[in-house]
Amino acid sequence: MLALAGILPDFSLKSGDGDSATRIAVTAASGAGAFGVLSALVWPLLVRALLLMPALVLGLLVFALNGSMLLIALSLIPDGPGTAEPETAVVVAAVMSAASSATSTFLTVRDDGAYRRRLARLAGRRRRRLGQDEGDEQSPGTVFLQLDGVGHAVLREALRERENRPPVMPTVAGWVRTTHRVMPWRTDWSSQTGASQLGILHGSNEDVPAFRWYEKKSGEVMVSNRPTSAAVLQRRAAARARHDGLLTVDGASRGNLFTGGADQLALVLSVAARRGKHNRSRSGYFAYFSDPANATRTAVSFLAEVVREIGQSTRAKLRRETPRVKRGGLYPLIRAFATVVERDVVVTAVMGDILSGRTAIYADLVAYDEVAHHSGPRGRDVQQVLARLDRSIALIANVAEYAPRDYRIVLLSDHGQSPGETFSGAYGLTLEDLVRAGCGLPVSRRAGRTSSGAEAREAGRAALRRPEKPEVEPDGRAGAAKADEDVAARHATVSDPIVLASGNLGLISFPDVPGRMSREQIDARHPTLLRTLADHPGVGFLLVRSEAHGAVVLGADGAEHRLDTGEVLGGVSPLAAFGPGAEDAVRRTAHFRNTPDIMVNSAYDPVRGTVHAFEEQIGSHGGLGGEQGHPFLLWPAELTAPVAAGEELIGAEQVHRVLRRWLAEADGPQVPEEEAEAETAGEARAGADARAGADARPPAGAELPEAAGAAHTVPESRRDGAPAAPFTVVSRGVPDQAR
């Protein structure tokens, strides 16, 4: 405070006719003391009163509130010699808060004993709050950290030394050499966060064909990162899986699209549309920004990231790097939100969960995915992001050493990314232009660009409390409004097709026709459409439904693969270039109720590993082709292997079963030993039959041992949606609210 008074012209700690040095020092001490007391007593009350305010607005309001408290503190000084202009008070309060936080952090971190005692007090308070015996030995907790969009191949490259330089991710590299194991897994056809995370957290991603799709029954466009759509998808998944999710018992969900059944939430989109005191999704923002030092540090880092993105995009433009997409407009702010604000809030929330001793924590760090969409999956831009993610992982691991229980840290990703020039950049027209041309409809001269679909966009809107942005059709009408008009006009007029994009996956629907159109109906209405699409060099294959042959994949030069019978016409299957597992993935999606009339997967170059996104992305995911379908799973070696030797981990639903098994291992067997063996055998069979078998869950009537809380019976479900035998879930020593 003395230093600031000497530097800032509008801040004074002495009266107009001057004071002695002692008097000034006493004034500074009194002002600092009063400010500290107000910060400790009043600030928590202010944050609690402002819980319903938009999160980022509160982050900015921190400075004004802090400045107001400083002015109050100066007015409390005897004789009142301290004065400051309001705008100067904001600066003084912010610097003092940051200095105070940095000093206390330095003093405690340098003294491991003090740090351990502080964490022990936090853990003790939580145990007393939960009514737990402090003498009880706790089983290990589990932290699942999702590195959004980081493919297995990208991770392996980041773990290798490069020309005598250390790895990009030294912390994770050290784990793989010593305590952890890593393997790839294969996504479903829809290789994107919506389908993958829904399956991982809730055990079912049935009827999720893409990141966005049109539902004829409701006449709405579903978008995975739209809060209202995410809420609907979560409810559907919970109904199919017959349970609330992976994190139901004493869990925390941070930065995800879905809750996973957790009670502790921060930055979770499926509840972001809720209003009122029961919405805890934004509580992570409030908890973070309630510390003025956090607000100051994040604001500075946010601006630095904006400058970094502008510099990197300018360099790419000057070097004429290809492929390249436009990175202007609001994108620098969106990138900074994903790589700074979301990261800081999520990491801080996870650290708080660890210090509180929570049982299961699942957090999504979206930074890499956001940057890779516009900069490409490899290169200096994304390497810097991976290095910062590694530091965040190291910070979480260091905090776990002081937790009231042991923690196992599992890293995983939901999909990878495949590089390549955009479809419009390579061929001069969008997928919608191609569809309209095949239908004999007018094609606009200017190709319409679709939105990027990056997860951070809707998270930012939710944080700002902005209304959801509707899909916009080429004629300027909102997608939902247009869909409503189309539903009302069914059978009366022939409407234009709705064309949506999900990375290199395209979805085409004819809204005036109820139900899914067949190949024969499409050919009767638009005789040249299917061949126009299938023969285009930027298209890999189409999926349609035939009245005579069921699910059919069409390729160039008349190639045809009838999935239900396995019959291949015209030589080689159009799916052959996409590698093993492509046929099973497409066959599964072909029988979803929400599968559109036509699904289009872009061409794939197996030599270069490139695809063509139907959106403005040079690093994309959403369909088949290349590294986008091969994320990773990294786990502590003391846990059982995800699958038996020689088997492949396929699909998000199977990953859910693996994570659920690991949670059970941390707390001992969840079913009697002989039944657990039968469950394990059933799970192995489910993986071997390409995920067509029944979900491997505890058998009927199996009850957890040592039931410390209430039990309730949950009906089991099968993959085909038919009801099966119930099983019993027992809450082990957790309060009613957590149950």
Render 523-554 in DSSP notation, one character per residue: HHH-TTHHHHHHTSTTEEEEEEEETTTEEEEE
Residue in 554, 573, 522, 532 with CA at minimum distance from that of residue 427 = 532
Q: How confident is the model at residue 685 (pLDDT cuts 50, 70, 90)?
A: very low
pLDDT of 434 > 50? The answer is: yes
Tokens 């979301």 appear where? 342
- Cis peptide before 323, with omega less than 30 degrees from 0? yes
CA 262 to chain centre: 15
Q: Does 485 have pLDDT greater than 70?
A: no
Tokens describing residue 3 = 């230093």
E strand segments, 598-652 = 598-602, 604-605, 610-611, 619-620, 632-636
Decide if pLDDT at 418 tops 70: yes
pLDDT tier at 4 (50, 70, 90 boundaries)?
A: confident
446 against 541, higher pLDDT = 541
Binning pLDDT at 50, 70 and 90, where does residue 303 land?
confident
CA distance from start to end of the chain? 48
- 649-675 pLDDT tens trace: 999 999 999 999 999 997 643 333 443
Q: Is the per-residue pLDDT at 614 higher than 50?
A: yes
Out of 112-121, 288-297, 430-439, 706-715, least confident range: 706-715
Residue-level pLDDT at 654: 97
Q: Are the C-beta atoms of 608 and 625 separated by less than 8 Å? A: no
Q: How confident is the model at residue 383 (pLDDT cuts 50, 70, 90)?
A: very high
Higher per-residue confidence, 719 vs 52: 52
pLDDT, mean of residues 481-485: 45
Is pLDDT of 236 > 90?
yes
| Predicted confidence (pLDDT) at residue 574 exceeds the cutoff of 50 | yes
Write down the pLDDT at residue 75.
75
Q: Note whether 84 and 311 are within 8 A (CB).
A: no
Identify the band that residue 214 occupies on the pLDDT scale cut at 50, 70 and 90: very high
Name the H helices within 42-111: 43-49, 55-75, 86-109
Contacting residues for 250 by C-beta, under 8 A, at least 6 apart = 263, 358, 359, 360, 734, 738
**Position 196, amino acid:** S
Q: What is the mean pLDDT of residues 250-260?
A: 94
Give whole-number Cα distances, 285 to 101, 340, 342, 348, 464, in Å.
Answer: 18, 13, 9, 10, 11
Give the pair of three-digit tokens for residue 450.
């679709």
Contact 420, 612 (CB under 8 A): yes
The answer to whether residue 321 scores a pLDDT higher than 70 is yes
Q: 533 falls in which pLDDT band (50, 70, 90)?
A: very high
pLDDT bucket at 538, cuts 50 / 70 / 90: very high
pLDDT score for 60: 57
SS3 content of the chain, % helix, strand, coil (to 5): 45, 15, 40
User: Residue 695: which of 668, 722, 730 has the closest Cα?
Assistant: 722
Residue 521: pLDDT over 90: yes
Lowest mean per-residue pLDDT among 614-628, 698-712, 716-730: 698-712
Give 330-352 pLDDT, tens digit per residue. Answer: 889 889 988 998 999 899 889 88
- Among 220-224, 322-326, 411-415, the minimum mean pLDDT is found in 322-326
Per-residue pLDDT, 101: 61
pLDDT at 285 over 80: no
The pLDDT assigned to 152 comes to: 97
Contact assessment for residue 462 and residue 487, using Cβ atoms and an 8 Å cutoff? no
* Predicted TM-score of the model (pTM): 0.76
**Residue 735: which pLDDT band, with cuts at 50, 70 and 90?**
very low
Of 216-220, 385-389, 688-692, 734-738, highest mean pLDDT: 385-389
**Least confident span in 474-483, 509-518, 581-590, 692-701:** 692-701
- Can you give the pLDDT at residue 623? 96
Q: What is the mean pLDDT of residues 558-564?
A: 94
Collapsing DSSP to helix, strand or coil, 599 comes out as strand
Q: What is the pLDDT of residue 240?
A: 94
> Do the Cβ atoms of 593 and 350 come closer than 8 Å?
no
State yes or no: pLDDT of 722 exceeds 60.
no
Q: What is the mean pLDDT of residues 507-535?
A: 94
- Grade residue 449 by pLDDT with cuts at 50, 70 and 90: very low
- Region of poorest pLDDT, from 155-159, 263-267, 276-280, 583-587: 276-280
H/E run at residue 421: none
Work out the percent of the chain whose per-residue pLDDT is above 90: 49
* Per-residue model confidence (pLDDT) at position 93: 75
Residue 735: is the preceding peptide bond cis (ω within 30°)?
A: no
- The whole-number pLDDT of residue 723 equals 38
Q: Which residue has the higher pLDDT, 681 or 32?
A: 32
Instruction: Read off the pLDDT band of 535 (50, 70, 90).
Output: very high
Closest CA to 210 of 189, 225, 234: 189
Residue 697 has pLDDT above 60, yes or no: no
CA separation, residue 202 to residues 198, 245, 592, 664 (Å): 6, 4, 18, 16
Position with higher pLDDT, 212 vs 737: 212
Lowest mean pLDDT among 98-107, 141-150, 595-604: 98-107
pLDDT of residue 678: 44
Predicted confidence band of residue 591 (pLDDT cuts 50, 70, 90): very high
Indicate the residue type of 664: A
The owner of tokens 């189409």 is 542
| pLDDT attached to residue 67 | 72
Looking at per-residue confidence, does 354 or 82 come out higher? Answer: 354
Residues 529 and 432: their CA atoms lie apart, in Å, by: 12
In sequence order, what are the residues at sequence separation of 6 or more whose Cβ sits closer than 8 angstroms to the Cβ of residue 321? none
552's CB contacts (< 8 A; 6+ apart) are: 519, 543, 544, 545, 546, 560, 561, 562, 563
The pLDDT of residue 711 is above 70:
no
Map residue 86 onto helix, strand or coil.
helix
Whether the per-residue pLDDT at 487 is higher than 60: the answer is no
pLDDT greater at residue 507 or residue 713? 507
What's the token pair of residue 396?
A: 């979480």
